[in-house]
């Protein structure tokens, strides 16, 4: 039996508790999070680590959703800095950004061509049209770009206004791609053959390429690599292609890296491989694939890789229980339950199932603190929001936060057992496009 909100119900709901009035005064004056902030966490969760890697200067994605790209390139530049004895070095995010946009446009248009017989108002086409172009991505999408296009130093293709603040460009691309989808579907409805539609699609990609060139500049085909190491030695190599540069100076075999996730929902049994329909950027690139494991397995693999001297790319829900001041990520950083007098009781699986949490941001582990028993209690996080947040751009994550809001780590398969590698390589279960594990790391600063 339903009940409307009546005057009598409003009277019963009225908050007359003195504690409620005190909390109301604090929140109305200072805001919700500022009133609930737990100062004890800031004092106890400090930036010291028993395993700590040395990285170059912090990077800054600014007003763009390229965190996944920044995080991956930060793991790559780590290798260059170490190999060449550099104080600092940065790879061009704008270079891969250009090709990611172009490839995503092609991937979207191909998806439209693959779904011409689906109704425009159906869930699948509506999902495709909801975000034909955004900045976000996944690890395997980054690998596809690097495999195809390589990387270049930042000076070879520097930032532009449109790469650092990408909203206007993404809006223009989104408008154009939705129009392109409309034109393709209309032409098909009017009897156009597949060959005609393919020709139209190529013209559409030409327009996308033109927009990208105007906004980002055209990517270099070759460049001269010039850098000075910490001992004053000058290194020069002329006429390098982006792929040759990656192979020589980064040298990581991306096929060796496996994406592990922790999704404790009933529909995703552990120790199974998963992929997501219609998720990707490079049409002929590698499939986005995950191995779902218990959270302890993610920690074990990440720690092993860092102990061996290499950072770890990861994806998490950065907006939950975190603060820019001091860069703290801890489940107790805010005392909202005590302030509001209500209980927030969903567990990790329930948050995933009901849309309360999913992966939103990618960063890099550059260290971990192990207690006397070898157990992790805090993690060192390299962010890409500049030096202002956290401690000169670094965050500290509690192990409890890892349990609740960590969703993905990428590690070399040599840190996994043969059995786990076989599980990853097994035929993946295909998830629907709107599954939370298909989310893209896209949070802006």
67 is catalytic: yes
Identify the bridge partners of residue 391 per DSSP, sorted by sequence position: 394
- Pairwise CA distance, residues 163 & 64, whole Å: 7
Confidence tier at 396 by pLDDT (50, 70, 90): very high
Q: Which residue has the tokens 């990428």?
A: 410
Q: Please tell me the predicted confidence (pLDDT) of residue 311.
A: 98
pLDDT in tens, 274-288: 999 999 999 999 999
Q: CB count, 10 Å around CB of 226?
A: 12
| Mean pLDDT confidence for 415-442 | 97
383 is catalytic: yes
Q: Is the pTM of this model over 0.95?
A: yes
> Tokens in use for 246?
């990656």
- Pairwise CA distance, residues 368 & 49, whole Å: 5
Indicate if the pLDDT at residue 3 is higher than 90: no
Confidence tier at 55 by pLDDT (50, 70, 90): very high
Q: Please tell me the predicted confidence (pLDDT) of residue 443.
A: 87
Confidence tier at 18 by pLDDT (50, 70, 90): confident
> Tokens in use for 169?
């460009």
- Enumerate helices (H) and strands (E) in the chain, giving the number of each: 17, 14
Q: SS3 of 214, please? A: helix
Q: Please tell me the predicted confidence (pLDDT) of residue 44.
A: 81
> Tokens in use for 141?
């999408």
CA 114, 116, 117, 118 torsion-angle sign: positive
List CB contacts of 391: < 8 A, sequence separation 6 or more. 47, 326, 327
Q: Which residue has the higher pLDDT, 20 or 165?
A: 165
pLDDT in tens, 340-376: 999 999 999 999 999 999 999 999 999 999 999 999 9
Q: Which of 60, 215, 361, 369 is catalytic?
A: 361
Q: Please tell me the predicted confidence (pLDDT) of residue 1.
A: 65
pLDDT in tens, 166-209: 999 999 999 999 999 999 999 999 999 999 999 999 999 999 99
Indicate if the pLDDT at residue 2 is higher than 90: no
DSSP 65-105: S-HHHHHHHHHHHHHHHHHHT-S---B-HHHHHHHHHHHHH
DSSP 120-185: TTSHHHHHHHH-SS-S-B-HHHHHHHHHHH---BGGGS---HHHHB-HHHHHHHHHHHHHHHHHHH
Q: CB count, 10 Å around CB of 244?
A: 14
Q: Please tell me the predicted confidence (pLDDT) of residue 21.
A: 87
Q: Which of 38, 47, 60, 67 is catalytic?
A: 67
- Pairwise CA distance, residues 348 & 320, whole Å: 12
């Amino acid at each position: 039996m339903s009940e409307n909100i009546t005057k009598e119900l409003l009277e019963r709901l009225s908050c007359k508790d003195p504690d409620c009035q005190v909390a109301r005064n604090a929140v109305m004056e200072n805001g919700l999070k500022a009133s609930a902030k737990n100062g004890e966490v800031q004092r106890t969760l400090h930036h010291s680590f028993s395993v700590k890697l040395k990285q170059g200067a912090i990077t800054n994605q600014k007003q763009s959703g390229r965190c996944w790209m920044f995080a991956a390139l930060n793991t790559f530049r780590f290798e260059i800095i170490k190999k060449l004895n550099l104080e600092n070095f940065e790879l061009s995010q704008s270079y891969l950004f250009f090709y990611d946009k172009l490839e995503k446009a092609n991937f979207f248009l191909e998806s439209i061509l693959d779904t011409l017989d689906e109704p425009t108002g159906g869930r699948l086409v509506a999902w495709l049209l909801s975000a034909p172009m955004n900045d976000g991505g996944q690890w395997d999408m980054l690998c596809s770009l690097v495999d195809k296009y390589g990387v270049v130093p930042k000076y070879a293709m520097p930032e532009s206004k449109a790469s650092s603040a990408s909203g206007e460009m993404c809006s223009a691309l989104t408008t154009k791609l939705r129009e392109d989808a409309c034109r393709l579907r209309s032409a098909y409805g009017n009897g156009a053959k597949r060959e005609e539609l393919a020709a139209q699609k190529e013209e559409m990609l030409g327009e996308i390429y033109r927009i990208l060139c105007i906004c980002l500049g055209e990517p270099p085909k070759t460049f001269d690599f010039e850098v000075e190491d910490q001992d004053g030695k000058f290194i020069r190599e002329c006429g390098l292609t982006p792929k040759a540069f990656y192979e020589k100076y980064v040298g990581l075999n991306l096929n060796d890296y496996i994406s592990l996730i922790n999704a404790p929902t009933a529909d995703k049994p552990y120790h199974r491989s998963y992929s997501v329909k219609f998720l990707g950027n490079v049409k002929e690139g590698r499939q986005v694939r995950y191995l779902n494991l218990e959270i302890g397995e993610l920690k074990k693999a990440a720690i092993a890789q860092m102990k061996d001297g290499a950072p770890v790319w990861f994806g998490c829900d950065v907006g939950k229980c975190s603060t820019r001041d001091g860069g703290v990520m801890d489940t107790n950083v805010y005392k909202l339950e005590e302030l509001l007098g209500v209980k927030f009781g969903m567990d990790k699986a329930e948050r995933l199932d009901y849309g309360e949490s999913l992966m939103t941001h990618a960063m890099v582990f550059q260290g971990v603190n192990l207690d006397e028993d070898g157990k992790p209690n805090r993690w060192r996080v390299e962010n890409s929001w500049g030096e202002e947040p956290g401690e000169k751009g670094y965050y500290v994550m509690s192990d409890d936060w890892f349990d609740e809001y960590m969703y993905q780590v990428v590690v070399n398969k040599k840190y996994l057992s043969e059995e786990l590698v076989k599980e990853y390589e097994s035929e993946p279960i295909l998830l629907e496009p709107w599954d939370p594990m298909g989310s893209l790391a896209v949070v802006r600063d």
